[in-house]
Structure 1
């Protein structure tokens, strides 16, 4: 298969994600050897949607202003680039946007799977968030959609602000401050003045959102549902009834007095009285000693391993539950005999069986692609020793059972699906890769939709396929580190 090159410089790799506007590919800058993220947007689509093109040009203009270690930086951009097919022949014209690759994943994933952060870790990330935000504001840029999903982590787990699609310039052409009027962002993180529909200062709105992120990092849950008068917790803030606000939250989380004092300075309904970045940086809690970078990386690495262990334990618990239900059904039929050979076969460590009837599985017409050596953090995946053809078929059955709209690309073992949920549609992609030890890895990537709903869909699918899910090499290594060893019994 020919290597696809773009701009005579970027060697294009696998797809990292995709959405309505285009795809994001892993790429290698051949002049430096660095991994980058390559966003490809269909130029023909932009021609038919002038508003989208204007928004894209605005986003690019804003990102060109920014260059900071705590921001996902724009490296290159070209309009009207010919995107080649896999055989190298021209396919279509795209806009190519090259940005930093955040190999550590989303901050949201770590909080979703491992809960709140210790105060030192939360403070370190809040400092990095404020440093990146300060740079934006100095360059006259307001982000307007700060939330954990838009805070990415570099390879060494340093925070980077991403997704400037809703950002705006906060200065007029003559350099004087301008007021913004568009209600945009994610409602749970939006400042009260934005939700109220009044003209607002983008900098103050960003600080409110940053305060929400800090609260969630410390507590593991949001401070309120929405900053409006219909919300009890926000009413306590608006009325400056902070003791009642904290009394309600301290039943479920712990905050130091210093952290509470800083959050109170940020959670002020009147933006004119809300803490500024200068006030935040002068705060005693904020100014406390940093967590060393190696300590931060070690903690996040440990949490990543914890995610893998928790997934493995969930699968083991599910298999035990199924086995108990099977025995109960047998007992109800009057069959008290336990047939060990009728039970699923397990690896020495792992949550699911090697799969009954594997010898009858359809062989793969073509091998699955090798698992990319891209160092990109993955959290929603599982391993199986079924053939790629068989597990793709099972995935199709699972999506069909969810009444999903889905499309299967059989030769590359890829499925694109759209699943309707009570909280809105979730679009995702599954891809089967060849992994070590004769296994396959099935990777799930969110394309559109709420992150929590995506996690629910992932959990539902893995429950449906639990009989073919096995422990992967990384899980076996983690289990060995816990003392089980490769030949030990499952927990």
Structure 2
């Protein structure tokens, strides 16, 4: 088990806010993830995941570009099929992101343990992912790292898309579209236009990735050979994927149609999230053809937010403080985070340049 190296004052900061780290879960290049417990003012307790990012160990590009984007996106999200952020705050060079804990692990772990996902269950989960993407894309946000490992399962076995480390807005301050140039995410889930290494429209790449997720759920294997990039690209462009015979014989034509249009190598012809939600495959379960109250409210809120997005998502920084606590104005928290990251980067430049 990895221990958290915190000072007494840092532990006190967490405690005052109601948080206690309980167990190490895993780590990436610049972050560690812990289970944590939050105690509310009424003494109620909830288990959360806590992602701790140590900016002093991260490259400047991450600190000044990707981390601000991730936090700016996270504080804007409020959708039942996207990970819910409880709070975000900063302590010196560390950023603490407390979020909903996936009680049943991630989708990859589920598939490895239980095998292929039935078509009926795949339909439910893909619809939830498509609703999450429809909401994100309405806000002009792209995820850019959708894969089975980033899809969490709740206690009730609903899915939540997580890990927004590569996410970004896809319009600029003038509301003009921005092409992506970064090679993002995992090669196995990357659309062919990403592999070409040229600027690309980012929204269709999210749809390609959920097409890969759908194929993996149904088939318990990747659709393309990803051992070499050129071979992967050639297979993608040639639509050379095949379901295993025992799977192909039982899944519906409507399901295969959705897979076909998500794994369409031409991004201009690839289906959108709205087209997936309106597909005959989703309609095969009449319960899935209408939004529940929470889903409908989230989409409506996104449409309203979209109207003012270009005016509100670039606010000049004012002061340092907590970045996100759900009782405060969230836009100011973005400003505080950007200023804090700029200050940290300036100090690191002074030490290293």
Same-fold call, TM > 0.5? yes
2:219 matched to 1:219? yes
| 1:111 CA displacement | 0.8
Counterpart-to-counterpart distance in 1, 2:49 and 2:243: 39
Unaligned runs of 5+ in 2: 1-7, 289-353
Deviation sequence 1:249-271 (CA, Å, 0-9, x none): 35353232111111112222111
Counterpart-to-counterpart distance in 2, 1:191 and 1:204: 8
User: Residue 37 of structure 2: which of 4, 28, 31 is its match?
Assistant: 28
| 1:94 CA displacement | 2.6
> What does 1:388-407 correspond to in 2, within 5 Å?
none
User: Residue 52 of structure 1: which of 62, 69, 81 is its match?
Assistant: 62
Counterpart-to-counterpart distance in 2, 1:291 and 1:148: 25
Cα separation, partners in 2 of 1:229 and 1:26, compared to 1, 3 Å: closer
> Secondary structure, in 3 states, of the residue corresponding to 1:130?
helix
Alignment check: 8 A CA contact 2:180 2:201 kept: yes
Kindly tell me the number of residue pairs found equivalent between the two proteins.
269
Counterpart-to-counterpart distance in 1, 2:189 and 2:54: 31
Residue of structure 2 equivalent to 1:100: 100
Determine which structure has the larger helix proportion and give its number. 2
| 1:95 CA displacement | 1.9
Residue of structure 2 equivalent to 1:203: 203
| 1:164 CA displacement | 0.8
Deviation sequence 1:466-489 (CA, Å, 0-9, x none): xxxxxxxxxxxxxxxxxxxxxxxx
Alignment RMSD = 2.3
Counterpart-to-counterpart distance in 1, 2:161 and 2:235: 28
Deviation sequence 1:360-390 (CA, Å, 0-9, x none): xxxxxxxxxxxxxxxxxxxxxxxxxxxxxxx
Counterpart-to-counterpart distance in 1, 2:37 and 2:48: 6
| 1:148 CA displacement | 0.4
| 1:61 CA displacement | 0.8
> Under a length normalisation based on structure 2, what TM-score does the superposition of the two structures give?
0.70
2:258 matched to 1:262? yes
Residue of structure 2 equivalent to 1:253: 247
Residue of structure 1 equivalent to 2:144: 144
| 1:7 CA displacement | 5.2
Alignment check: 8 A CA contact 1:129 1:159 kept: yes
> What does 1:29-428 correspond to in 2, within 5 Å?
29-31=38-40, 32-45=44-57, 49-54=59-64, 55-80=66-91, 94-226=94-226, 230-231=231-232, 233-237=235-239, 245=240, 248-251=242-245, 253-254=247-248, 255-289=251-285
Determine which structure has the larger strand proportion and give its number. 1
Counterpart-to-counterpart distance in 2, 1:110 and 1:165: 23
Residue of structure 1 equivalent to 2:28: 19
Counterpart-to-counterpart distance in 1, 2:105 and 2:215: 21
| 1:100 CA displacement | 1.2
| 1:43 CA displacement | 4.8
Cα separation, partners in 2 of 1:267 and 1:77, compared to 1, 3 Å: same
Deviation sequence 1:301-358 (CA, Å, 0-9, x none): xxxxxxxxxxxxxxxxxxxxxxxxxxxxxxxxxxxxxxxxxxxxxxxxxxxxxxxxxx
The structure, 1 or 2, with the larger RCO (C-alpha pairs under 8 Å, 6+ apart) is: 2
Counterpart-to-counterpart distance in 2, 1:22 and 1:234: 33
Cα separation, partners in 2 of 1:182 and 1:41, compared to 1, 3 Å: closer
| 1:181 CA displacement | 1.2
Counterpart-to-counterpart distance in 2, 1:105 and 1:290: 28
Unaligned runs of 5+ in 1: 82-92, 238-244, 293-491
Counterpart-to-counterpart distance in 1, 2:83 and 2:154: 9
> Under a length normalisation based on structure 1, what TM-score does the superposition of the two structures give?
0.51
